[in-house]
Structures are given as C-alpha cells and as structure tokens.
C-alpha cells in the first residue's frame, strides 16, 4: 500500500519540505529514513499528529547534526541512545537510529544495539504502533506493516507483538489502556489475558516511569476513561493501594475541564486523583513517585486544605478571614478543593478567594505612610496589614479612604488590633 498522496495531504507544507530534505541528506549518506510509530497510526486513522518520529537505518545523530546545520534547528542529541531531537519554532522532529532491544530484566530499561528497520518495529509495544512509511525516493510512501497493524486498526484492536511484552515492560499495561480509551478500541483477547497476568509486574517499574505514564494519561482528552478502566482492571490498586478510579473522579475531571484552563489541567487532574488520600497516604505516594517540587507542593496543599475545609463551611465569615485561611495555599490546590467539595458554602468562599480576594491590593505603601507622619518601625507593617484587611472587607475602597483610615489608626497609637490595649 502506498501512502504518498495521503502524506502530501496530511502533513503541513513546511513539515513536508523538511522531511523531504532530511531524506535527501540521508540518501546522500547512503542511509534510509522512515516515518514510524504514532504518526503512521494517526495518518491511517486520519487524525492530526505532527509529532514526527523518524527512524534512520544508519546514524541518526550524525544525520541530525547535518540537518541542524543546514536548517537552523536546535539540536538535542543523545549519543548513548543514538537519538536526536530537532527543534524548530513550532514543532520538533525525533530521529532515532534503528535499534534492537534486549530486556536483561523485567522493568529495567532495555539494552540497545543498532539494527535494521524490522528490529526497530518488532521491539515496539503494539501492532498499531509498529508500522513505518518509507521516505526513500524509490519507494516513497510505501507502508511497511510486518505485524498487521493496519488490519488491527481496521478491527479496532490493541495487540502486543510478543507474549513477553507486558512482562518485560509493564508500563505497556498503562499504555494499552490509554490507547484503548483514546481510540475507542478493544484490547485483543490474548493481549487482554497477558495484560491481566502482567499486572504484578508493575512492581518492577520505577515510580518515575509510572508517574510519567499517569501524566501521559492526563494529557488525553478524557483521562477519566483510562483511569476508570485501570481501576476496573486492578491496575490502580497495584500502583498505590489508595488510588481509586470511580465515578467521582469522572465527574470531577469533567468539572476541571469546564474551567477552560488547558495548561493547568494535568496538575489539576493529579490533585483530584489523590483527593481521597490522608496526609500519610500522600507522603508514601510522593516518596514512591518522586514527584517534582511544584507538583508535590500542590498535592500536599490539596490534602492539607481538604482537612481544614470545614473552617470555610460557615455563613458568617469575613472576606479577610477567608483570605487569611487561604493565602498560604497553592492556587491549584484551592481550585482542586473548589471542584471537589460537596459544600456549596465552602465552594463559594474558595471561589471568592480565587476570583477576587487574592488580587486585592492597597494603593498606599510604606513610603506613603511615612509621609503621613507614621514613624519607621513595626507600626508601618501593622497599619499596611490593617488597611489590606479593611479593603478586603469592603470597609475602604479608595486611596483617600486608605489615607483616612491610616491617619485614624495613627491617632489610636497604631493599635490595629482592637482587643489589645492602646499603646
């Protein structure tokens, strides 16, 4: 089957020109280049995917170096793995030397040696990801499909290429479910059986790699589908005994999407995924999954705030009290709690903070207070604080109002706390 016409219609012109130029340079070096993996799958399905993976029968790093020189690309090379990334303004291209993989022990990263295209295809996870398209001039556009990936696409099936696939690399369990749910496919019968048998092998995978797979799931359009399925299969339980993939998650993920802040979504999903955790459960989870400092902070704040949320679940609470209760928390954790809480009162207070209170500023500063005759010292800070509180509570609205209150507090002897005796 030849996909030349399809490729010409599918790839943006700029990318097409670049791919052809790479192929030209490879041909001069006596090397062959192929489009592989996700882009071939999506090309056949007609889904846009411009994250191009190219396999080179030859030396991908040297070829990429040459291409970078002639096309003003930023080059990121991994000599050890024989791979290189070419970064252009709007897109990136991945080049990899065709390779053979041997798994010395389950869960560990494989040992790799250079190989031919077929070696590179057989090492892959699923038949639908193990197709290539030749870019060489003599057979440009030819589909190379030794494992019937196209047939599986037509039958909407996820199928592994070798019975040890999940055993060697149990991250493929999560990948299988991710593709199944993304594409609305089924997992082929024998693959499904081996997947279930392979679940204990998740113990051989490092926390980092599992977390990476979860993060890939969070980039999907409807990640709750994969989370739910992983829950049903017992995968979540194996990853962490406290993880759940129930209907609550689906409902809350949907609410998170309605906020329309796509760049925040993956982290927000993470906060919601661990929402049922206790502080102890979360600490165990963080230690195992080696989460980044930023993500860990948001996850910890999510649970800390959940535990104190009852303080916001009452009607007579001043805006300045809401501010003081929430000011130390990560906005993402506050957002997660606003989505998660069943209390409409707490929700309103969290929303008030997120949409208004956290942006409230006074216009006077320390210098202005000095000019009003307030001496340098701790009183300046106390008065600024009192002005901020009054502004939060709507007691003052303008700069003139701030000045008036500052003068008044000065006459009180700077006592901003009515309960303590005037100095």
Minimal distance, residue 243 CB to ligand CTP, in Å: 21
Residue nearest to ligand CTP (CB): 38
Minimal distance, residue 34 CB to ligand CTP, in Å: 13
Q: Which is nearer to ligand CTP, 62 or 172 (CB)?
A: 172
DSSP 92-157: EEEEEE-EEEE-SSTTSPPEEEE--HHHHHHTSSBGGGS-EEE-SGGGTTBEE-TT-HHHHHHTTE
Handedness of CA 51, 57, 61, 66 (dihedral sign): negative
Helices (DSSP H) in 142-246: which residue ranges?
149-154, 165-168, 171-183, 189-198, 207-218, 223-233, 235-239
Q: Does 223 bind ligand CTP (CB under 6 A)?
A: no
Find where tokens 């506050």 sit.
Answer: 334
Q: Does 125 bind ligand CTP (CB under 6 A)?
A: yes
Minimal distance, residue 71 CB to ligand CTP, in Å: 22
Q: Which one among 83, 134, 171, 416 touches ligand CTP, defined by CB under 6 A?
A: 171
Q: Does 188 bind ligand CTP (CB under 6 A)?
A: no
Minimal distance, residue 345 CB to ligand CTP, in Å: 42
Burial class (CB in 10 A: 0-12, 13-18, 19+), 29: middle
Q: Does 37 bind ligand CTP (CB under 6 A)?
A: yes
Q: How many residues at the interface with ligand CTP, by CB under 6 A?
A: 11
In what helix (H) or strand (E) does residue 10 lie, and over which residues does it extend? helix 4-10
User: Inter-axis angle of helices 331-340 and 265-273, to 10 degrees?
Assistant: 60
Q: Which is nearer to ligand CTP, 31 or 169 (CB)?
A: 169
Minimal distance, residue 153 CB to ligand CTP, in Å: 13
Q: Which is nearer to ligand CTP, 37 or 319 (CB)?
A: 37
* Coil, helix or strand at residue 32: strand
x/- mask, ligand CTP, residues 354-393, rule CB under 6 A, reads ----------------------------------------
Q: Does 172 bind ligand CTP (CB under 6 A)?
A: yes
Record the tokens describing residue 271, joined without a space. Answer: 């906060």
Minimal distance, residue 8 CB to ligand CTP, in Å: 21
Among 65-73, 170-178, 237-245, 359-367, the segment contacting ligand CTP (CB under 6 A): 170-178
DSSP 336-384: HHHHH---HHHHHHHHHHHHTGGG---S--HHHHHHTTPPSSHHHHHHH
Among 3-11, 169-177, 193-201, 236-244, the segment contacting ligand CTP (CB under 6 A): 169-177
Please name which of 293, 353, 348 lies closest in space to residue 329, comparing C-alpha atoms: 353
Q: Does 349 bind ligand CTP (CB under 6 A)?
A: no
Please name which of 238, 102, 81 lies closest in space to residue 164, comparing C-alpha atoms: 102
Minimal distance, residue 242 CB to ligand CTP, in Å: 25
Q: Does 124 bind ligand CTP (CB under 6 A)?
A: yes
Minimal distance, residue 213 CB to ligand CTP, in Å: 8
x/- mask, ligand CTP, residues 73-112, rule CB under 6 A, reads ----------------------------------------
Q: Does 159 bind ligand CTP (CB under 6 A)?
A: no
Find where tokens 């409807």 sit.
Answer: 222
Contact criterion met (CB below 8 Å) for 104 and 112: no
- Between CA 290 and CA 135 the distance in angstroms is 40
Minimal distance, residue 175 CB to ligand CTP, in Å: 6
Cα atoms found within 13 Å of the Cα of residue 402, Cβ hemisphere only: 21
Q: Does 209 bind ligand CTP (CB under 6 A)?
A: no
In what helix (H) or strand (E) does residue 56 lie, and over which residues does it extend? strand 52-57
Q: Which is nearer to ligand CTP, 53 or 59 (CB)?
A: 53
Query: Residue 132's beta-bridge partner residues?
Result: 36, 144
Record the tokens describing residue 362, joined without a space. Answer: 């006074």
User: Taking CB under 6 A as the criterion, which residues in 45-64 touch ligand CTP?
Assistant: 51, 53
For strands 132-134 and 111-114, give the pairing. Answer: unpaired
Q: Which is nearer to ligand CTP, 51 or 251 (CB)?
A: 51
Minimal distance, residue 215 CB to ligand CTP, in Å: 11
Residues that bind ligand CTP (CB under 6 A): 37-38, 51, 53, 124-125, 129, 169, 171-172, 175
């Amino acid at each position: 089957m030849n996909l030349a016409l399809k490729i010409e219609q599918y790839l943006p012109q700029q990318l097409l020109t670049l791919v052809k130029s790479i192929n030209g340079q490879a041909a001069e070096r006596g090397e062959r280049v192929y489009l592989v993996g996700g882009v071939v799958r999506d090309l056949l399905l007609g889904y846009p995917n411009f994250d191009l993976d190219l396999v080179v029968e030859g030396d991908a790093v040297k070829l990429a170096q040459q291409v970078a020189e002639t096309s003003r690309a930023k080059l990121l090379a991994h000599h050890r793995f024989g791979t290189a990334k070419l970064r252009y303004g709007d897109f990136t291209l991945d080049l990899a030397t065709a390779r053979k993989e041997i798994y010395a022990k389950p869960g560990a990263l494989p040992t790799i040696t250079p190989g031919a295209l077929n070696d590179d295809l057989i090492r892959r996870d699923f038949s639908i990801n193990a197709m290539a398209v030749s870019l060489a001039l003599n057979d440009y556009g030819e589909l190379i499909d030794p494992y019937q990936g196209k047939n599986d696409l037509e039958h909407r099936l996820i199928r592994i290429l070798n019975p040890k696939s999940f055993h060697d690399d149990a991250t493929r369990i999560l990948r299988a479910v991710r593709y199944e749910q993304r594409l609305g496919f089924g997992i082929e019968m024998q693959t499904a059986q081996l997947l279930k048998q392979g679940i204990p092998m998740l113990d051989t995978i490092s926390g980092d790699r599992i977390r990476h797979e979860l993060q890939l799931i969070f980039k999907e359009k409807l990640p709750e589908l994969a989370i739910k399925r992983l829950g049903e299969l017992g995968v979540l339980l194996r990853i962490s005994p406290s993880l759940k993939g129930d209907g609550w998650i689906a409902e809350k993920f949907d609410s998170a999407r309605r906020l329309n802040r796509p760049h925040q979504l993956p982290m927000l999903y993470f906060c919601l995924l661990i929402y049922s955790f206790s502080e102890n459960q979360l600490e165990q989870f963080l230690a195992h999954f080696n989460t980044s400092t930023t993500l860990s902070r948001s996850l910890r704040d999510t649970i800390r705030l959940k535990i104190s949320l009852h303080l916001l679940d009452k009607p007579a609470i001043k805006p300045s009290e809401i501010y003081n209760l929430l000011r130390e928390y990560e906005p993402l954790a506050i957002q997660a709690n606003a989505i998660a809480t069943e209390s409409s009162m707490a929700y309103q207070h969290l929303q008030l903070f997120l949409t208004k209170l956290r942006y409230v500023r006074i216009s006077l500063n320390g210098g202005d207070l000095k000019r009003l005759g307030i001496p340098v010292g701790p009183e300046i800070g106390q008065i600024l604080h009192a002005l901020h509180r009054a502004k939060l509570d709507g007691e003052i609205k303008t700069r003139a109002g701030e000045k008036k209150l500052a003068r008044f507090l000065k006459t009180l002897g700077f006592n901003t706390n009515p309960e303590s005796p005037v100095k």
